[in-house]
Amino acid sequence: MKACFNGCSFTEGLGFAEVDRNRHIYDRLICNHFQWKRTNIAVEGSSNTTIFHRSAEAIISNNYDIIFTQWSALNRQWFFPGPDCKYSNIDGKHPEFAYRYIHLDKKFDKKFKETLRIFNHDFHKIIELVSYVKILDSLAKAHNVITVNINGLVSWQEDLTTPLDHQNLDACLSTYTKKILDFENRNDDEIIHFFRILQQKFKEMRLDSWVNLFDSMQKMCIDTGPQGHHPGPESHRLIAEKTIEFLEKHL
């Protein structure tokens, strides 16, 4: 089997030296277990849009038998001010950004990134992600490729799969879902309407293609790597074990 792993820094193994990645990062652990050939195309800081594009290209390349797509935070996005420059709305240390006539000092860069995240609302990003997963699934079937989805940083909650109690909305919706529905500022009919849109879209997706649909790698993290803010060896071992269990059950 030839396996391809795609995602953001979690799958790339950011923070680990290459020799340590070979011993600790989950894609290596999975492929060592099954004795598969492995390719890792994950890129640090990737948005789900760029992850989708890479997985689609990997599928249609016909170079792989199985493709693992690790999805990242919903509101990540890349911008390209020029052919040789890219800019991300990922929250970081807010360094100054300069490209030709564009200059963002640290203070403005922070405010600009916060504004971009506000404009990149999770409600529509969930709908977009479900569409990405469905398209990859269709492409994979056409090319006789197996697709597996891994939740790296997606925040959606289990209430998307449970019936909505119209008489007790406050109790049956998670804090996250209430936040993206603007629960405190909408009436019950509006909340029910928008939640139904999310649930109906979610039902279009093949849920059994996910290793950890609601338990993201971020949520499962039990230690940190050398840089202190990415999953460490034990966390990678945990997701590898969970993925191996999933594969042995479904393949």
What mean pLDDT value characterizes the chain? 94
Superfamily of domain 2-77+123-157+207-250: SGNH hydrolase (3.40.50.1110)
What span, in angstroms and rounded, lies between the C-alpha atoms of 29 and 40? Answer: 13
As a whole number, mean pLDDT of residues 101-118 equals: 89
Res. 251 pLDDT band, cuts 50 70 90:
confident
Q: Using an 8 Å Cβ cutoff, are 217 and 10 in contact?
A: yes
Beta strands in 65-135 (DSSP E): 66-71, 78-82, 85-88, 97-99, 102-104
| Between 81 and 15, residue with greater pLDDT | 81
Query: pTM score, two decimals?
Result: 0.95
Residues 232, 248, 41, 125: is their CA dihedral positive or negative? negative
Q: Does residue 140 surpass a pLDDT of 90?
A: yes
Burial of residue 80, with CB atoms counted within 10 A of its CB: 0-12 exposed, 13-18 middle, 19 or more buried: exposed
Residue with tokens 């569409």: 131
Is the pLDDT confidence value at 18 over 80? Answer: yes
Residue 182's region, left for phi above 0, alpha for psi from -120 to 50, else beta, is left
Contacts of 102 (CB under 8 A, 6+ apart): 81
Location of structure tokens 């119209």: 166
Report pLDDT for 193.
97
What pLDDT shows up at residue 20? Answer: 86
Whether residue 5 has pLDDT greater than 90: yes
Measured distance between the N- and C-terminal CA atoms of the chain, rounded to whole angstroms: 12
Q: For the chain, give every domain's residue range.
A: 2-77+123-157+207-250, 78-119
* pLDDT tens digits for range 221-230: 999 988 777 9
- pLDDT at residue 94 above 70? no
Lowest mean pLDDT among 96-100, 152-156, 167-171, 232-236: 96-100
